[in-house]
Amino acid sequence: MRTAIGNAFKSMPDIHYEPVRGLFGPGHIVVELLVTGTLPDGTRAKFHACDVMTMIAGKVATKRSYRKIAG
């Protein structure tokens, strides 16, 4: 996880995560985000992200991330 986030900041140093919505329940968390930044070639990137996490004993047990390019 740490490596993936580090790589995102290397490829888009100005990356910005804007929270859209957070949903919480027993044993899970769902976070929706709008992610923007500039790619190395100067192109602006914008995509929707959704992270689904399973919690066990107050710690993240699993995490699935979904991404879709925003139009």
Average confidence score pLDDT of the chain = 89
pLDDT at 12: 85
Distances (CA, A) of 67 to 8, 27, 56, 57: 13, 23, 25, 28
pLDDT at 70: 78
pLDDT at 63: 93
Q: What is the pLDDT of residues 4-37, one digit of tens each?
A: 667 777 788 899 999 999 999 989 999 999 999 9
pLDDT at 24: 94
pLDDT at 11: 81
What is the Cα gyration radius of the chain?
A: 14
As to burial, measured by CB atoms within 10 angstroms (0-12 exposed, 13-18 middle, 19+ buried), residue 25 is: exposed
